[in-house]
Amino acid sequence: MDRLPVELITPICFLACTDGGPTACALSLVSHHIRAASRPAHFYSVSFNGPRVITAVPPFLTRLKEEHEETRRGDAPPRVRQLFVSVSPPKGESQTMILKVYRVTIDMLLRAVAQDVETLSLVQSYMQGDQSANPIALDVKFPRLRELTISGVLFSSPQLDSAPFPTLRRLHVLRGPSPRDWAPLTPNVTHLRISEVPDLHVLPVIWTSGLSTFGRGPNADSAEADEHYPHLQQIIVQPAPHTHFHRLDFYKRYVHELWDMQPTARVPMYLVPADEDAGGDPWNKSEFARVKAKNLWLAAVEGSGRCWQADDKYAHFNRTGDDLPLYLRQWSEEPINDMEAPPIQDAGEAAEPIAHGGGGIRDEVPTRTL
């Protein structure tokens, strides 16, 4: 391979470095020639997972700075184009203190990659304390970001004179706040996906009220609907599993409200089935969201748009009646209070739960984080 020209090796390296770091690390150890040829792709896709995020980010940023300084004049420095970050503190730790450190760490990382990142997935696993609801204040813009998946994280931009994500086209809110809260930050979104919401910490009526912003029904405000996401082309909504609710009647009401809202959507709206049981325990639900987000991020880096693909049978324009379809009636008539689900399986274990509508989970290939 040392005889191959750099002009051939470098593009191949970009195609290969889609796993969050392991391939890039391996290429840098092959030879001096391959290391130099693959340098622009060394940080093309970067993945941080679990409690080690807090300790792994500072040395990574130091190395990224060194790589830029070592790059010869005229050569392209390595840039982070695809980034996945998931923080899941160990059980029993002081999560309030970890959350403070987490926010400082994430702030440093986002500042460093803001000008270059194109695909970003940011997952905050279950943390106790009121501070988990405080937004991360952004003072930089992300001019190249096209796709964003967010779970358990809020943003604000009080210091910016315009939206921090001006070119964002695809927004996936996974177990997050109302989509209306994201509209000022992401005004040019064309594709919106809402998954696994609301959970036990969000009242169904609050969230469905936020989604009604994108409707044309009798209770919708047309002026407000036009103001939020004027370029919107598609919405995919995936209800949370019924075990996220302490009361079955709450869940039934929630699903029926989504079903009644679907025909009023001003753009094609796909109401896809819930994933298989994510578990009622907050920790299980967070792990489920993390694994799901990681697999969807890997698919996006590899060029697959399956998060945004939904079968037409789930679209509102193919409805044949007003009765709730069987694929949305995934509950039994027995009480579901305090139901427990099997623990979420992580990367490399047995098959993950299967999801529907192109946004599901597959077996995650174990990856070595940076």
DSSP conformation letters of 152-166: S--EE-TT-SS-S-T
Query: How many Å is the Cα radius of gyration of the chain?
Result: 21
Distance between CA 146 and CA 175 in Å, rounded? 20
Q: Is 283 within 8 Å of 92 (Cβ atoms)?
A: no
Could you tell me how many helices (H) and strands (E) the chain has, helices first? Answer: 9, 10
pLDDT at 331: 67
> Angle CA(295)–CA(314)–CA(182) in degrees, nearest 5?
60
Predicted pLDDT at 66 = 84
pLDDT score, position 157: 86
> What φ, ψ does residue 172 adopt, rounded to 5°?
-115, 115
Interstrand relation of 269-271 and 191-195 (parallel, antiparallel or unpaired): unpaired
Q: Which residues of the chain have pLDDT under 50?
A: 128-131, 199-207, 217-222, 334-370
What torsion do the CA atoms of 87, 89, 91, 93 make, to the nearest 10 degrees? -160
> Residue 86: which of 235, 288, 276 has the closest Cα?
288
How far apart CA 46 and CA 320 sit, in angstroms, is 45
Distances from the Cα of 43 to the Cα of 56, 84, 271, angstroms = 14, 12, 36
* Residue tagged 């070595």 (tokens): 368
How far apart are alpha carbons 131 and 135 in whole angstroms?
A: 9
Exposure of 38 in the CB half-sphere (CA atoms within 13 A): 25
Beta pairing partners, 265: 215
**What confidence score (pLDDT) does residue 370 get?**
36
Place of tokens 């830029």: 68
Distance CA 146, CA 168 (A): 4
Q: To 10 degrees, what angle do helices 95-113 and 53-70 make?
A: 20
Provide the pLDDT for residue 198. 60
Report residue 255 CA to chain centroid gap: 23
How far apart are the C-alpha atoms of 178 and 246, rounded to whole Å?
20
Residue 208 confidence (pLDDT): 52
CB 179 within 8 A of CB 211: yes
Query: What is the spatial distance between Cα 370 and Cα 366, in angstroms, rounded to a whole number?
Result: 13
By DSSP bridging, strand 191-195 and strand 170-174 are: parallel
Pull the structure tokens for residue 195: 């998954």
Q: How far apart are CA 60 and CA 4, in angstroms?
A: 30
Residues listed for the chain = 370
